[in-house]
């Protein structure tokens, strides 16, 4: 916790009392994401996804493609706030227990949810955004969220973690399909066609070619703390 809080103090944006409580106390309050806490929740759920024991980590693509060096990925080697080497932290604690049915829902959702920094789904959480989304899905599943609820959450959480990309996707949908971001099917928004690295590149190229690009202040798309 000390390294986590020091990160924000060093950036000149210290954690609020409420955020410190989240790190140190149990809470039954619902999680609300907004522009102010999006980066905090990204790092928080990155830690959850990284440490929680789950077959997606121990048996899935990230383990299969690690070559015995799990720390070689951005989501693992990039985690610098632990008190132990990341190889010891990886999938090391049962933070969130899931029933077989809940696990199945997590895996189904994780296979469908992409992020615009790469072409991998959450099922292969090789960057911080993928690992954080995995942690969020695990928590939602443990509370019996449905697949549709997970996809809807991912639609809006990704919009806070990738604000510029979400803005461009919204402009693309309005211009190309006459659909608002709010009304768009979450499956389409988080899917490979729009939300993967190559999918978003297509969106960006379309907007650029048609003079429709806009900028939003700041973004949280860097794969680092």
For the chain, how long is the longest CA-to-CA vector? Answer: 50
- Alpha helices (H) in 27-146, listed in sequence order: 38-51, 55-58, 61-64, 74-77, 86-89, 100-112, 128-142
Q: What is the pLDDT of residues 79-101, one digit of tens each?
A: 999 889 999 999 999 999 999 99
How far is Cα 35 from Cα 41, in angstroms, rounded to an integer?
10
Q: What is the pLDDT of residues 179-225, one digit of tens each?
A: 999 999 999 999 999 999 999 999 999 999 999 987 665 554 666 66
Q: What is the pLDDT of residues 115-166, one digit of tens each?
A: 999 999 999 999 999 999 999 999 999 999 999 999 999 999 999 999 999 9
Contact 96, 138 (CB under 8 A): yes
Q: Which three-class secondary structure state does DSSP give residue 179? A: coil
Instruction: Judge whether residue 75 has pLDDT over 60.
Output: yes
Q: pTM here? A: 0.93
| Residue keyed to tokens 């008190």 | 83
């Amino acid at each position: 916790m000390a390294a986590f809080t020091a990160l924000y103090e060093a950036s000149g944006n210290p954690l609020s009392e409420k955020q410190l409580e989240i790190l140190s106390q149990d809470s039954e309050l619902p999680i609300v994401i907004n522009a102010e806490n999006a980066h905090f929740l990204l790092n928080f759920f990155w830690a959850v996804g990284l440490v929680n024991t789950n077959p997606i980590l121990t048996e899935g693509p990230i383990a299969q493609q690690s070559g015995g060096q799990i720390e070689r990925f951005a989501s693992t080697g990039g985690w610098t706030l632990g008190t132990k080497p990341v190889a010891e932290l990886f999938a090391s604690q049962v933070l969130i227990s899931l029933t077989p049915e809940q696990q199945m829902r997590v895996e189904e959702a994780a296979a469908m949810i992409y992020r615009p920094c790469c072409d991998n789904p959450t099922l292969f959480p090789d960057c911080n955004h993928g690992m954080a989304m995995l942690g969020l899905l695990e928590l939602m599943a443990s509370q019996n969220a449905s697949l549709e609820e997970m996809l809807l959450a991912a639609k809006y959480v990704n919009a806070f973690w990738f604000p510029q990309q979400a803005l461009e996707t919204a402009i693309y949908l309005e211009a190309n399909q006459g659909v608002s971001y709010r009304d768009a099917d979450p499956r389409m928004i988080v899917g490979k066609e729009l939300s993967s690295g190559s999918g978003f590149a297509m969106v960006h190229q379309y907007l650029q070619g048609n003079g429709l690009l806009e900028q939003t202040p700041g973004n949280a798309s860097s794969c680092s703390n």
